[in-house]
Each structure stands twice: as C-alpha cells, then as structure tokens.
C-alpha cells in the first residue's frame, strides 16, 4: 500500500489517497481513486501524484515538433 497526495481537478484541493500497487514493470500506471473531496473517481499516477489528464497535457507540451 502506498500513500500519496493528488490534487482534485474539480475542487483544486489536495487529497490524500492510498493504493495497492502491483508491480507491472515499466511504464506509467494509474489507479482509480474515489476522491474524498468531490466524490468522483479520478485516475491518478501514484508515482508522482499526477492525474492522467495532467500527464497527457504535459506530454503534448514536451513533444518535439
């Protein structure tokens, strides 16, 4: 079980969460977290506390064109 903090995109507050992680090798992994702040389900990367949508946005910015 790993504890981590992510920012709720709906309310903009930090939410503490915990997830049981399977070791699935390389690559990013996201866990569905029931948000304690807004009650919705968010996909979060426990390694950096980022939401899936945030990671995709930064990927788009960093992509060399």
Burial of 28: CB neighbours in 10 Å, binned 0-12, 13-18, 19+: exposed
Contacting Zn ion (CB under 5 A), which of 4, 6, 8, 50? 8
Q: What is the rounded CA–CA span in Å between residue 63 and residue 6? A: 24
Nearest to 27 by CA among 8, 9, 52: 52
Q: Minimum distance from CB of 8 to Zn ion (Å)?
A: 3
Residue 24 or 32 having the CB closest to Zn ion: 32
Is 31 a binding residue for Zn ion by CB under 5 A? The answer is no
Is 44 a binding residue for Zn ion by CB under 5 A? The answer is no
Is 38 a binding residue for Zn ion by CB under 5 A? The answer is yes
């Amino acid at each position: 079980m790993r504890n981590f903090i992510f920012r709720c995109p709906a309310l903009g507050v930090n939410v503490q969460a915990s997830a049981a992680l399977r070791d699935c090798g390389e690559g990013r992994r996201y866990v569905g977290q029931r948000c304690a702040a807004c009650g919705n389900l968010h996909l979060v990367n426990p390694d950096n506390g980022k939401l899936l949508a945030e990671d995709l946005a930064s990927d788009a910015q960093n992509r060399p064109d």
